[in-house]
Amino acid sequence: MKDLDKKSKQYLLDSIRDVKDFPKPGVVFKDITTLLNNKDAFNLLLDHLSSRYNDKNIDFIAGIESRGFIFAAALCARLKIGFVPIRKPKKLPYMTISQKYSLEYGVDEIEIHVDAFGGIKNARVLLIDDLIATGGTAKASVDLIKQAGGSCIEACFLIDLLDLGGSEDLKNMVNVYSVLEV
């Protein structure tokens, strides 16, 4: 089940709720909680991702706060590998490396533990999140993985918002895979 057929992709897309004008007017928010609480849709997604990554010799999956944690942790359990959180500042309890990135109006920052990959040199890391829009957080995450001694082998997203161009920019740094493109 490495590739999803059109019917399966549509099923997953239909399981995601659109919320208009959230978090601000004009935005249509892709609410994945409806996919997560649909056991059939969530398992279809995890079966697909497990099949895709089972033979890639991945050491860790790094999930971006917060919805990326859900997919990363569930997939880690299936693949029997370690989970690494990438978080907002001052949320991780040990020494961290941080990376700033640009937002439309300002700057934000994310962090990873300095020892995130347990001393494994060039650990093979899959980066995962629910959605890629402009790609700022994802690009900063790929940089953090490298700074922590890992090698990001691919960045995976449930949804790629194509019109915002983030995945195209990210492809200059790493392979990108999106389950759904909107």
Which are the catalytic amino acids?
67, 104
Alpha helices (H) along 80-165? 136-147
Confirm if 160 and 179 have CB atoms less than 8 A apart: no
DSSP 162: G
Cis check for the bond before 85: say yes or no (omega within 30 of 0).
no
- Neighbouring residues of 69: CB distance < 8 A, sequence distance ≥ 6: 63, 83, 85
Q: If DSSP codes are grouped into helix, strand and coil, which group holds residue 158?
A: strand
